[in-house]
Copies of this chain bind each other. A is one copy, B any other.
């Protein structure tokens, strides 16, 4: 039924040995042009396709990259997924998509990645236990935290410059004359939220500008609810810094619902610069995460480590840039 043509069949038809057939399909092996052609012709005729399972069994390698993510609902991650998929495809890798509902990667997900002996892993929007991380190291499987700094052990990570970004945003708002401010954070334990808070508050503390902080969850609904809470307190800040764009949209919608004019009555700044930020409905001032460069850094590292594992680890920060639009 399924896939019955083997290298042996091709060998017979081509009049060569099975080893020669194998060499034609194995990168790096040497075969004469003549046998190569005969093999390829025979293979074509029979519809031969090398069995990846037999190959992986022997080489102990795969051409699969594990992509672990939680937040496909946020267009930022949809974009990330899309770009990783097409770039890894160009390099000959397939994507094993591991969706994790929980903040933390589950043991089950790790088993899957190890079972398929993935060549490398990208983890985005999720955390990992120390013991889990060690398993990847033990197996020499390179792993990158994308848009997250690892909270456990040391791993390669690629982020944008969150602290600088949020500092710049603070300076910008102050330059616009903002006095009392509101900060809305994302999920409390994520490095991005922690860093964006840190950079922002650092500047305000230094300048002795007062602000209120609200914890939210990086979702539209979270932003909306949080803004409603702020409004109930009847103390409208002169500006909101919201830790990501999707929450900022929720904030904007809540403000509009209450007839608060933006940017006249208060200002709103997001973080990410997802495509929607430039929609006429929002025209959100935000900080652009350099997705392309971040992905490039991630892919380059993984490919190098796959080619020759060193276990080298570093926290990469790529510079983002300020995008001024109409909410400020």
Per the bound structure, the CA–CA distance linking A112 and B62 in Å amounts to 12
A3 at the interface (CB under 8 A from B): yes
Residue in contact with A281 in the complex, picked from B54, B75, B79, B249, CB distance below 8 Å? B249
Given A3-B60, A78-B78, 10 extra CB contacts under 8 A: A50-B115, A52-B116, A53-B56, A72-B82, A85-B98, A89-B99, A95-B99, A224-B280, A281-B281, A281-B282
Per the bound structure, the CA–CA distance linking A86 and B111 in Å amounts to 16
Residue in contact with A96 in the complex, picked from B2, B49, B94, CB distance below 8 Å? B94
Question: Contacts A52-B116, A95-B97, A117-B2; is A253 near B281 (CB within 8 Å)?
Answer: yes
A220 at the interface (CB under 8 A from B): yes
The answer to whether A256 touches B275 (Cβ under 8 A) is no
Report A81 CB to chain B, min CB distance, Å: 6
A51 at the interface (CB under 8 A from B): yes
Please, which residues of chain B bring their CB within 8 A of the CB of A17? none
Chain A: residues with Cβ within 8 Å of the partner, total of 55
The answer to whether A57 touches B67 (Cβ under 8 A) is no
Question: Contacts A1-B139, A2-B139, A75-B75; is A254 near B275 (CB within 8 Å)?
Answer: no
Could you give 30 example pairs across A and B, Cβ below 8 Å?
Answer: A2-B139, A3-B139, A49-B114, A51-B57, A52-B115, A52-B116, A53-B54, A53-B56, A53-B57, A72-B78, A72-B79, A72-B82, A73-B75, A73-B275, A75-B75, A75-B78, A82-B99, A85-B97, A85-B99, A86-B99, A89-B108, A94-B98, A94-B116, A95-B96, A95-B97, A96-B96, A220-B279, A252-B281, A256-B280, A281-B282
A140 at the interface (CB under 8 A from B): yes
The answer to whether B97 touches A67 (Cβ under 8 A) is yes
Please, which residues of chain B bring their CB within 8 A of the CB of A208? none
A314 at the interface (CB under 8 A from B): no
The oligomer's copy count stands at 2
Per the bound structure, the CA–CA distance linking A54 and B57 in Å amounts to 6
Question: Contacts A72-B81, A82-B73, A117-B2; is A96 near B97 (CB within 8 Å)?
Answer: yes
Per the bound structure, the CA–CA distance linking A21 and B57 in Å amounts to 19
Please, which residues of chain B bring their CB within 8 A of the CB of A67? 97
A234 at the interface (CB under 8 A from B): no
A189 at the interface (CB under 8 A from B): no
Q: Which chain B residue lies CB-closest to A113?
A: B94
Question: Contacts A220-B279, A279-B253; is A111 near B72 (CB within 8 Å)?
Answer: no
Report A72 CB to chain B, min CB distance, Å: 5
Report A292 CB to chain B, min CB distance, Å: 16
Per the bound structure, the CA–CA distance linking A139 and B85 in Å amounts to 26
